[in-house]
């Protein structure tokens, strides 16, 4: 592994850390160390990184801003790639938007709204990067990425590149083929939006952002929604009706503001959060006969 670090530093792919605590890189402020953490400085740095990882036959994982992610306390073996600066370009051509995977999804929604383009208002309250949104078909307020994405450039595990259409990504609820069938990293996304009344678009975006501020515990570290909504139910409503708001394990607490959020009150561990998740699942199953499925990705060693 030290050989990989040496090669990446020689290739000047970007920032490289050894044994870096991932609590510094997740919105939950939880997570043990990554053996190697790499933040590529540009597209070529990322491609070189992936090819070196493949050559060394090491496991890897990609993160953006670390939302929707729980890293276990033992951390992650192998390599973690963090996308951000260097992959945050943006080009708007009429109603078509081409944007780098490291670009903030909320910022993108704000910029296109100001340009009078409609289609991404739902993203105003979704933390994370464009790449993460493409990867998991992020959505809110009755819409999601699959409604507006034209295509995405993908870097695959072997270092090869391809542009996949919306249809080829085989989107479903919070899922794309990049998660399992064809594992890969989004480098760039192309969105097909539509022209609309700028004031109406900006107002809709502001309404979504205001709703997020009022209903989500953003003053505490959290990951976003923990559970998928078990159709036709609302995950948050079921948890609240079960009387679990405020239930706490260590410094991990079911939010008093929104029951589908687990907040870190200061020093929560991943084990605290996982214990809380299991308690929620068993309680909802017992009380309502409904099976709950986490939306958050749990990674790493215990």
Residues annotated catalytic, as ranges: 174, 225, 295
Give the dihedral sign, CA 76/36/81/17: positive
d(CA 38, CA 137): 24
CA angle 74, 27, 169 (to 5 degrees): 90
Phi and psi at 295, nearest 5°, equal -90, -30
d(CA 147, CA 170): 12
Q: Measured between alpha carbons, how far is residue 186 from residues 19, 49, 97, 183 in Å? A: 25, 14, 15, 10
Asked if residues 140 and 125 have their Cβ atoms less than 8 Å apart, the reply is: yes
d(CA 128, CA 66): 7
Asked if residues 302 and 32 have their Cβ atoms less than 8 Å apart, the reply is: no
d(CA 22, CA 26): 6
Which residue has tokens 């999601």? Answer: 144
Two tokens, residue 123: 């993203």
Overall residue count recorded for the chain in this entry: 302
Which residue has tokens 């009078």? Answer: 116
DSSP one-letter string for 87-113: S--EEEETTEEEEETTSBHHHHHHHHH
């Amino acid at each position: 592994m030290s050989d990989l670090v040496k090669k990446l530093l020689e290739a000047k792919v970007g920032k490289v850390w050894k044994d870096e605590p991932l609590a510094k890189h997740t919105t939950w402020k939880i997570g043990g160390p990554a053996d190697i953490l790499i933040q590529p400085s540009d597209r070529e740095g990322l491609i070189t990184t992936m090819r070196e990882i493949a050559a060394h036959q090491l496991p890897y994982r990609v993160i953006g801003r670390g939302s929707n992610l729980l890293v276990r306390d033992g951390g992650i073996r192998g390599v973690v790639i963090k996308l951000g600066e260097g992959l945050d370009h943006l080009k708007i051509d009429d109603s078509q938007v081409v944007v780098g995977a490291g670009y903030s999804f909320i910022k993108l929604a704000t910029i296109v709204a100001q340009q009078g383009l409609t289609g991404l208002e739902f993203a105003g309250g979704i933390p994370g990067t464009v790449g993460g949104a493409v990867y998991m078909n992020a959505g809110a307020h009755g819409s999601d990425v699959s409604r507006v994405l034209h295509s995405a450039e993908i870097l695959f595990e072997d270092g090869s590149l391809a542009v996949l259409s919306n249809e080829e990504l085989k989107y479903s609820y919070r899922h794309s083929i990049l998660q399992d069938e064809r594992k890969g990293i989004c480098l760039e996304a192309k969105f097909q939006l539509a022209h609309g009344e700028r004031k109406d678009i900006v107002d809709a975006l502001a309404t979504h952002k205001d709703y997020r501020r009022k209903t989500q515990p953003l003053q505490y570290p959290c990951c976003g929604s923990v559970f998928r909504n078990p159709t036709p139910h609302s995950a948050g409503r079921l948890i609240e009706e079960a009387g679990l708001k405020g239930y706490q394990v260590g410094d991990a607490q079911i939010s008093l503001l929104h029951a589908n959020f687990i907040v870190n009150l200061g020093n929560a561990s991943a084990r605290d959060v996982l214990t809380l998740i299991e308690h929620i699942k068993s309680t909802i199953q017992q009380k309502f006969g409904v099976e709950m499925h986490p939306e958050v990705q749990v990674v790493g060693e215990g």
